[in-house]
Each structure stands twice: as C-alpha cells, then as structure tokens.
C-alpha cells in the first residue's frame, strides 16, 4: 500500500469532519457570513506566504534536479495561481494590500506555519513533503466534494472558491505532491513511517483549528 494512502487512513475521521464544519457548509450552501469569509481570506493569504516558503525549502533540500524543478514550479503555482483566487476575492471585498500588511496573523495561523517550517528545516525531504500534504490534499477533496453539490459551483460569490479548489490545475498540482511523497517513501522503515504519520496527523489537526479560527475570528488571547 502506498504511504500516502496509509497516512490518509490515519486521518480519515479528522478529514471527514471538515465536510461538516459550519464554515465549509456555509460555503457549500452560500450562507456563510461574508465578514467571516473576509477574515478567512486575509488570514489564508498570510498563511500561504509562509506555506510557499516550505516549497522553497524543498528546492534547497532536494538533490534530484527534476524534484527541484517540481518544487520551483509549485512555488510559482501558489504565488501566481492559487493566490489569484485570494486576490480576486480581495478586489470584490475591498481588501487592499495595506489591509493585509497591517493585519496580525492569528495565533492558530502562526502556530501552524511555524510547525511546518520547523519540521521542514530540521527534518529531511520526506518530513518536508509530509508537512505540506494535509493542506493541499484536503483542500482538493473539499473542493471536489462541494463541486458535486447542486448549485454550489454556480454560486455568484462562493462558486469561484469551489471552482478553484476543484479545478484540473489544482488537482494536477496536488497529484504531483502525493506522487512525490510516495516516491520518496517507497522503502521507509516503520520508525520513519511513524514520524511521518505524526507530522500528517498534526497538520491535519491544524487544518481543523484553521477552520475553527475562520469561523470564530481566532483565539481571544487578550487576557493571556
């Protein structure tokens, strides 16, 4: 069995909960409060600026030229592809560049990206790839699930988000990451698998925290 499938089985309960999350259900039926989505888009934009740095570290960690090119292409895909979804919404929502620059990352956001960057800097290429996988793969599955709901793709506001994360381009990019991960982990030890599983479960839990943050507006830590 491919390592990616074994990891997916370890988080299926967590990932299935994403589909029932009120933020995701709100996108699916178009009922999500726009101000909540606005908060999410700004935080996710900030998140992606750190997420793409992990791909850049992949270029540094990789020894194979084709893998280096793959990570390089992914950096471009995120900065000039996925983030265009955000930029288009920002125009519609009246969010300006200075709004993003003047917004602090939520503590859940900081914790998630710091974890990925730490794993990637201290670990090997397998650890790095594992840290990236939950975000990209789960978004594809969410996008595909929502695209099958009648009327969701055609929604005048949230339809663009669904189309972006269920698109052929996004699926192709996700498949590249999954296939790379399986290639790198074809002959790993049980001890190494357990480490990758730990990373995958942790990042999957961080995804849950991110959806909670998007719905609630983040942790109220003023009293800490």
Active centre residues (catalytic): 135, 207
Q: What is the CA radius of gyration of the chain?
A: 17
- In the 3-class helix/strand/coil scheme, how is 110-127 assigned residue by residue? HHHHHHHHHHHHHCCHHH
**Contacts of 109 by beta carbon, 8 Å cutoff, 6+ apart:** 43, 46, 47, 210, 213, 218
Which stretches within the chain are classed as H helix?
A: 3-19, 22-29, 34-61, 65-77, 83-93, 97-101, 107-122, 125-147, 159-165, 168-184, 190-216
**Contacts of 13 by beta carbon, 8 Å cutoff, 6+ apart:** none
Q: Are 77 and 188 in contact (CB under 8 A)?
A: no
Q: How far apart are CA 59 and CA 75, in angstroms?
A: 10
**Contacts of 99 by beta carbon, 8 Å cutoff, 6+ apart:** 42
Q: How far apart are CA 157 and CA 54, in angstroms?
A: 30
């Amino acid at each position: 069995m491919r390592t990616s499938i074994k990891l997916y089985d370890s988080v299926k309960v967590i990932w299935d909960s994403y589909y029932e999350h009120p933020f995701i259900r709100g996108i699916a039926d178009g009922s999500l409060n726009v101000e909540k989505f606005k908060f999410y888009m700004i935080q996710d934009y900030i998140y992606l600026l750190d997420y793409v740095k992990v791909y850049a570290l992949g270029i540094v960690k990789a020894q194979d030229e084709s893998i280096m090119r793959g990570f390089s292409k992914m950096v471009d895909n995120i900065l000039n592809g996925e983030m265009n979804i955000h930029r288009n919404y920002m125009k519609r929502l009246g969010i300006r560049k200075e709004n993003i620059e003047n917004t602090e990352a939520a503590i859940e956001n900081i914790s998630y990206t710091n974890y990925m960057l730490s794993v990637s800097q201290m670990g090997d290429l397998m650890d790095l790839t594992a840290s990236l996988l939950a975000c990209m793969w789960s978004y594809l599955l969410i996008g595909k699930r929502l695209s099958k709901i009648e009327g969701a793709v055609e929604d005048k506001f949230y339809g663009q988000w669904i189309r972006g994360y269920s698109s052929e381009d996004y699926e192709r990019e996700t498949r590249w990451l999954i296939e790379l991960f399986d290639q790198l982990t074809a002959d790993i030890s049980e001890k190494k698998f357990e480490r990758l599983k730990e990373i995958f479960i942790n990042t999957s839990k961080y995804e849950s925290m991110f959806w909670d943050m998007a719905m609630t507006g983040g942790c109220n830590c003023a009293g800490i």
